[in-house]
């Protein structure tokens, strides 16, 4: 933990920032046990998700897609937020405005206690009817082995996640862009930063004048454009950042 080097520049920003925005990807949840998408044991390798995570596949074979999501929901139910999620939830109280923009659908930021969260790719704990749009919580539908039908209109119920070829939810995206444009400090954490449009947010923050810090176990396509890159696990680096922020802010 102590080997992580935080620059004086970052300490200054942590002390003076009023608005902090955090952008997270699958690496954020790695220590919780959620497989990343492009890692060696990524979900993608096992399940060919591009064949399953799309609307046509669902309409053609709803039971198969439903079953795959049932499996993914089970993984997520069994895991817990890690020290990184909890550190971010605590940091929210230190700054006037603190926003999380996540590409993760695992709901772990909310379960850790974070309040302002923009979920760009949806949330696997919610579902909705493709016919009438009515929302259903997991406990109302996941027990069913086959894709359930909406009691209100008879339409198929699908997970509330963004599939290949679908637009990001407009409110979440607009909120994420606003939070990226108007922050003093921006963290890009545990994301390979290759999937657009989400991956444009660190670039928007940088172009808008934020100090941009990447936290990842390795360099990414974005690293060269970050102001600072902290190589390490999110669950280890973020508690260090929280500790330093608390110390600096208490001295103000
Ligand atoms: P990826 O699997 O592409 O990238 C995960 C990143 O996390 C990599 O850069 C790893 O080096 C890093 N990483 C792994 N373990 C880490 C740790 N313990 N601490 C810090 N970093 C770690 O996942 P995403 O960038 O989230 O979209 O993928 C983005 C989107 O691609 C996903 O949201 C998904 C997929 O298509 C949809 O489902 C719509």
Contacts of 99 (CB under 8 A, 6+ apart): 19, 20, 21, 22, 116, 117, 118, 175, 176, 179, 183
Q: With pLDDT > 90 as the criterion, what percentage of the chain qualifies?
A: 78
174/220 same-domain check: yes
Check pocket membership of 25 for ligand 1, CB cut-off 6 A: yes
117/242 same-domain check: yes
197/91 same-domain check: yes
Residue 109 bears catalytic tag: no
Position 2 pLDDT exceeds 60: no
> 135: helix, coil or strand?
strand
Q: Are strands 122-129 and 157-161 parallel, antiparallel or unpaired?
A: antiparallel
For the stretch 13-57, pLDDT in tens is 999 999 999 999 999 999 998 766 666 545 545 566 777 889 999
Q: What is the pLDDT of residue 35?
A: 67
Residue 117 Cα to ligand 1 midpoint, Å, equals 18
Q: What is the pLDDT of residue 214?
A: 98
Q: What is the pLDDT of residue 115?
A: 98
Q: What are phi and psi for residue 243, nearest 5 degrees? A: -60, -45
Out of 31-35, 152-156, 192-196, the most confident range is 152-156
* Residue, of 252 and 237, whose pLDDT is higher: 237
Average pLDDT taken over every residue of the chain: 92
CATH classification at residue 191: 3.40.50.1220
Q: How far is CA 26 from the centre of its chain?
A: 7
* Residue, of 69 and 1, whose pLDDT is higher: 69
Q: Which of 71, 85, 109, 121 is catalytic?
A: 121
Atom index in ligand 1 nearest the CA of residue 31 equals 18
18/53 same-domain check: no
- Could you tell me the pTM of the whole model? 0.93
CATH classification at residue 141: 3.30.1600.10
């Amino acid at each position: 933990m102590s080997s992580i080097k935080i620059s004086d520049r970052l300490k200054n920003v942590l002390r003076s920032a009023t608005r902090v925005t955090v952008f997270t990807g699958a690496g954020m949840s790695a220590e919780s046990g959620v497989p990343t998408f492009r890692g060696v044991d990524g979900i993608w390798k096992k399940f060919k998700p591009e064949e399953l995570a799309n609307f046509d596949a669902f309409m053609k074979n709803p039971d198969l897609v439903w079953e795959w999501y049932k499996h993914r929901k089970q993984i997520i139910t069994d895991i817990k937020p890690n020290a990184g999620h909890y550190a971010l939830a605590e940091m929210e109280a230190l700054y006037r405005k603190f926003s999380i923009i996540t590409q993760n659908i695992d709901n772990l930021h909310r379960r850790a206690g974070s309040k302002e969260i923009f979920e760009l790719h949806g949330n696997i704990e919610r579902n909705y009817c493709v016919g009438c749009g009515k929302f259903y919580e997991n406990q109302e539908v996941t027990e069913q082995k086959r894709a359930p039908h909406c009691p209100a209109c008879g339409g198929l119920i699908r997970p509330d996640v963004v599939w290949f070829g679908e637009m990001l939810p407009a409110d979440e995206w607009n909120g994420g862009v606003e939070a990226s444009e108007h922050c003093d400090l921006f963290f890009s954490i545990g994301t390979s930063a290759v999937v657009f449009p989400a991956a444009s947010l660190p670039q928007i923050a940088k172009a808008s004048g934020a100090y941009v810090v990447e936290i990842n176990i390795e360099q990414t396509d974005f690293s060269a454009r970050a102001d600072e890159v902290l190589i390490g696990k999110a669950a280890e680096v973020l508690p260090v950042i929280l500790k330093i922020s608390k110390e600096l802010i208490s001295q103000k």
